[in-house]
Amino acid sequence: MTDRLATLVDALTLEEQVSLLSGADFWSLPAIARLDIGKLRVTDGPNGARGSGSLIGGVTAAAFPVGIAIGATWDPDLAQEIGAAIAQEVKSKGAHVSLAPTVNIQRSVTNGRNFECYSEDPELTAALAVGYINGLQSQGVAATVKHFAGNESEIQRTTISSDVDERTLREVYLRPFEAAVKDAGTWAVMSSYNRLNGTYTAENRWLLTDVLRRDWGFDGVVMSDWFGSRSTAPTINAGLDLEMPGPTRDRGAALVAAVEAGEVTRDTVRTRALAILRLMDRTGALDDTTPFAERADDRPEHRALIRRAGAAGMVMLRNDGILPLADPARIAVIGPNAKVARIMGGGSAQLNPHYSITPWDALAARMGDNALNFAQGCDNHRWQPLIGQPVTVDYFANETLDGAPVHTEVQDGTTAFLMEHVGGGHCDPRHFSLRATTQFTPDSDGTWRFGLHVAGLARLTVDGQPLLNAWEDWTPGRTFFEEGNDEVTADIALTAGQPVEVVMEFRTRASDNLHISGWRFGAARLLGADDIAQAVAAAAQADVALVFVGRSGEWDTEGWDLEDIALPGAQDALVAAVTAANPRTIVVLQTGGPVEMPWLDATAAVLQAWYPGQEAGNAIADVLFGDAEPGGRLAQTFPRVMADNPTGRADPAAYPGVNGHVRYDEGVFTGHRHYDRAGTQPLFPLGWGLSYTTFALSDMRVTPDASGAQVSITVTNTGDRAGSTVPLVFVGDGNAPVERPLRELKGFAKVHLAAGERREVAFNLPPRAFAWFDAGQGAWCVTGGRYTVEAGFDAGSLPLTAMVDIAAQTLPR
């Protein structure tokens, strides 16, 4: 096909070549009918395929476990299965390219997209990324590995400069991208919003050309994150092939003019257009003349895979023997996450699931409602819950709500994310206003809190009385990808069963970086001590108390970082009160990362369930009752307190950043390497996770060879039921002329064993496993001498140790 593509690109006029280098709309490139070139379409990932709809609503899709849950499986083969299944989802949405996977490193415990990433460790992240990409691309769907590079925080993410030395970049933050290119042959890469060492990544020639193409041999497409391209000649000359989304802001006529002015060569444009055609050819988009259509393809095999993968990623942090449950007669089901399906994080990764099941519904299906007693206890919402009533929305083609509406529609729920086709296509997406009207009927007497936040300007009334103002008083905050204000709230006394009319008026405002508008308002009764007392009473009368706590996609979301890692609201107090009332208390956590656990020692068991996709309740019940093994092991270290994590005690310049710069002062000492260096005992180390059986490691042998070293370890299931475990192999270097971590993870294996089974597991440690990056030489260096090889089930307990002599050598980039 190379000759065909070369002929085709040369048949294009300059203007046609340029047209392929920016989107036609939010999700597609323009077709070129003259030469029968089809339309390339993309869709958001990575835990599904949302399609071309808004972030809210749209055609339903399968919701798979989030990245940190896949990371906790330590299973590249399972990641490949998931990638292949998501490729089928991408096709059901009429798309050719998935904007996935997310392979940024979990540098801190507060990153808003921590849930979307696999791990704190570059080698684990790399292996899972390769599996996921291979699965996607085996079905003819392009992966778009993201966000390249240095996007490890959501604070000022569209403008901040991540200042990282080259050694740290090569050894930690670029490592998964390198594997995606060299080992998986990814067909696309997405540049990040941020600057890297002062230069926006979308126009960073060192990153996009020197490293990605010259050093690694990448031959695919580099696209911008949405609205992440800010210039014409600098981006295309640096190596950015595709500006997204469309319609173009920086290319089109501006790029043609830049060519004519000599700022960009015609050959550069041809090279970029050829890359687009190559991607279209690889995905079948080049000859795809199928009319665009999206469908909800709810496959039983996808449901089964999601359920199995959800359990495979769950980590049993603590168990005094109470799990698996043996069908207790009375269960108290407590907590704000019990009757809500927490299936995914927030931001561009969210989608409209085919369906979802809550823990309560899964438990009720198994045991019957009569065996369960529910008490919420407290809430954990970041924003007031949506009013789930029909909302009439009148749109105006001006910013002053003047005249007759140009479009009226009825929507479900009190939120909207507006990007294109606003007001039925009758409004300019950047200049319009609207009035949203609904009725709200409280289900109990009391004080109710209303909340409102918008990417735009808005005000809200209840029964005609002004209540919330984000119009004259609007100030920027951390909602709607940092384009919105922080929620404004006000309290009002309401009477059960007595409806009130709620009206919100909205108008657009000039965006700061991303051209989006959105609004959200809701209401909730204030909970207090009486509600915790009800939970305590339920727990005291039960054989077992199941407490479902954690966060949600409101907290774990693109566009902001957490302020701390304590459970939101009164959840810590709820857990402490319930455990005091019933020592047989099992805590089920659903978060996108570590949390502090001041109540840990009082619990009978703790299960970290993450956001496991649409089968959340079923997968949790499977693990609680022993139908499935808690197959997960932590892919990120849990500190005892937030201050212990790699960025917790740093100078503000190192996190969250000062004056538009964030310095990665810890260098290569990320994750478990940081805790080793600091001598700090974490709450749970990397790799931690209990099973329903027990395992032992023995007989480690390390043999040097011309390609590094070979390691073999015997793994034995010493328990009475089948299960899985993950032996880890670490390498320590005391010879290098630079400071290196005490140990670095260099090998792991997911091992499934029957009761009593023994197996010898082999690990290959290539020369790179012993190397460090010498920025002065621009090469990987293995310092000759003795290396320590350690093995165990987690980074905090490594019972097997051996020494191996490795010869000095210099490796290519």
Encode pLDDT of 125-182 as tens digits. 999 999 999 999 999 999 999 999 999 999 999 999 999 999 999 999 999 999 999 9
pLDDT greater at residue 418 or residue 193: 193
* Residue 10 burial (CB count, 10 A): 11
**Residue 252 located in a structural domain:** no
Query: Which of 601, 622, 641 is a domain's end point?
Result: 641
- CA-atom Rg of the chain in angstroms: 27
Nearest to 129 by CA among 137, 428, 778: 137
Residue 564 and residue 556: Cα distance in Å, rounded? Answer: 12
In this prediction, residue 328 carries a pLDDT of 85
Answer whether 695's CB lies under 8 Å from 716's CB.
Answer: yes
**Residue 665 located in a structural domain:** no
Using CB atoms within 10 Å of the CB of residue 113, give its burial: 0 to 12 exposed, 13 to 18 middle, 19+ buried.
Answer: buried
Name residue 707's amino acid. Answer: S
The reply to whether 623 and 732 lie within a common domain is no
Nearest to 94 by CA among 145, 131, 64, 58: 58
Query: Which of 525, 558, 580 is a domain's end point?
Result: 525
The reply to whether 44 and 185 lie within a common domain is yes
The reply to whether 701 and 777 lie within a common domain is yes
Residues labelled as active-site residues: 225
Exposure letters 239-274 (e unless 16+ CB within 10 A, then b): bbbbbbbbebbbbbeebbebbeeeebeeebbbebbb
**Residue 210 located in a structural domain:** yes
Please report which confidence band the pLDDT of residue 653 belongs to, taking 50, 70 and 90 as the band edges.
very high
CATH code, domain with 406: 2.60.120.260
Q: What is the pLDDT of residues 278-327, one digit of tens each?
A: 999 999 999 998 899 999 999 999 999 999 999 999 999 999 999 999 98
**Residue 446 located in a structural domain:** yes
Residue 307 and residue 615: Cα distance in Å, rounded? Answer: 5
CATH code, domain with 626: 3.40.50.1700
The reply to whether 127 and 238 lie within a common domain is yes
The owner of tokens 């988009």 is 285
Answer whether 733's CB lies under 8 Å from 806's CB.
Answer: no
Residue 452 and residue 486: Cα distance in Å, rounded? Answer: 8
In degrees and rounded to multiples of 5, residue 602 shows phi and psi of -90, -5
Residue 712 and residue 729: Cα distance in Å, rounded? Answer: 10
Please report which confidence band the pLDDT of residue 1 belongs to, taking 50, 70 and 90 as the band edges.
low
Q: Which are the contacts of 654, defined by CB distance < 8 A and separation ≥ 6?
A: 647, 662, 663, 664, 665, 666
In this prediction, residue 591 carries a pLDDT of 98
Query: Which of 218, 246, 274 is a domain's end point?
Result: 246
pLDDT greater at residue 656 or residue 650: 656
Q: What is the pLDDT of residues 5-37, one digit of tens each?
A: 999 999 999 999 999 999 999 999 999 999 999
CA dihedral 314, 65, 589, 105 (to 10 degrees): 90
Tokens of residue 733, six digits: 């270097």
In this prediction, residue 560 carries a pLDDT of 92
Please report which confidence band the pLDDT of residue 650 belongs to, taking 50, 70 and 90 as the band edges.
confident
User: In 199-265, which residue ranges form alpha helices assigned H by DSSP?
Assistant: 205, 233-238, 253-260
Residue 348 and residue 154: Cα distance in Å, rounded? Answer: 13
**Residue 680 located in a structural domain:** no
Answer whether 810's CB lies under 8 Å from 708's CB.
Answer: no
Cα 414 to the center of its chain, rounded Å: 25
Q: Which are the contacts of 719, defined by CB distance < 8 A and separation ≥ 6?
A: 691, 692, 693, 694, 695, 755
Specify the pairing of strand 800-806 against strand 785-792: antiparallel
Q: What is the pLDDT of residues 470-489, one digit of tens each?
A: 999 899 998 998 899 999 99
Is a pLDDT exceeding 80 seen at residue 55?
Answer: no
Peptide bond into 799 cis (omega under 30): no
Is a pLDDT exceeding 80 seen at residue 360?
Answer: yes
Q: Which are the contacts of 142, defined by CB distance < 8 A and separation ≥ 6?
A: 96, 97, 98, 136, 186, 187, 188, 220, 279, 282, 283
The reply to whether 337 and 363 lie within a common domain is yes
Is a pLDDT exceeding 60 seen at residue 330?
Answer: yes
In this prediction, residue 304 carries a pLDDT of 98
**Residue 341 located in a structural domain:** yes
Residue 360 and residue 338: Cα distance in Å, rounded? Answer: 6
The reply to whether 485 and 497 lie within a common domain is yes
In degrees and rounded to multiples of 5, residue 333 shows phi and psi of -110, 115
Answer whether 129's CB lies under 8 Å from 101's CB.
Answer: yes
Residue 215 and residue 207: Cα distance in Å, rounded? Answer: 10
CATH code, domain with 796: 2.60.40.10
Average pLDDT on 524-534 reads 95
The reply to whether 319 and 424 lie within a common domain is no
The reply to whether 575 and 627 lie within a common domain is yes
Query: How wide is the angle at C-alpha 524 spanned by C-alphas 449 and 112, nearest 5°?
Result: 95
Of all residues in the chain, the percent with pLDDT exceeding 90 is: 94
Tokens of residue 224, six digits: 């911008």
Tokens of residue 249, six digits: 């802001």
CATH code, domain with 78: 3.20.20.300
The reply to whether 339 and 394 lie within a common domain is no
In this prediction, residue 74 carries a pLDDT of 98
Q: What is the pLDDT of residues 511-522, one digit of tens each?
A: 887 888 999 999
SS3 77: helix
Number of domains in the chain: 4
**Residue 687 located in a structural domain:** no
Beta pairing partners, 22? 243
**Residue 268 located in a structural domain:** no
The reply to whether 505 and 623 lie within a common domain is no
The reply to whether 366 and 399 lie within a common domain is no
738: containing domain: 695-811
Name residue 796's amino acid. Answer: G
The reply to whether 152 and 230 lie within a common domain is yes
Q: Considering the entire predicted model, what is its pTM? A: 0.95
